[in-house]
Amino acid sequence: MPPSWNDYRKVIAKNGFRLERSGKHETWIRYDEQDRVTGQTRASHGNAEIADARFFRALLKQCGKTEKRFYEVLRGK
């Protein structure tokens, strides 16, 4: 079953991303321990499935996660 946008939000929020802007899409910014910006990603509003697997992998690459690690974080490991 493909991940949903809520799954994506949950994982990135656990990995230093904070929601900073909300327009057509949400802009999430990743901070390090010194509160310095280290990256960015976006999430769609709502909770649709991310059905396009290649797009999902592009998102994973953008947020610096492997698919395996994504699901580990999602399960709370």
Partner 1 sequence: MTAIAVAGGPAQLTSEGDLAFVGDATTSIRYAVSSRRGSSYRVSVAPARLTAVVDETDEGFTARSPELNSLGYGPDPDAALADLTEAVRDYLTFLVEKRPTLAPEVAHHETYLDLLSAPEASWFAAVTIGRAAPDAA
Answer for which of 6, 47, 52, 72 binds partner 1 (CB under 8 A) is 52
Instruction: Show the binding pattern over residues 54-73: x = contacts partner 1 (CB under 8 A), - = does not.
Output: xx-xxxxxx---xxx-----
- As a dihedral over the C-alpha atoms of residue 46, residue 74, residue 41, residue 3, rounded to 10 degrees, the angle is -50
Interaction of residue 34 with partner 1, rule CB under 8 A: yes
Which tokens hold the place of 26? Answer: 């949400």
Closest distance to partner 1 from the beta carbon of 53 (Å): 6
CB 19 within 8 A of CB 38: no
> Which amino acid is present at 54?
R
Least distance to partner 1, CB of residue 10, Å: 18
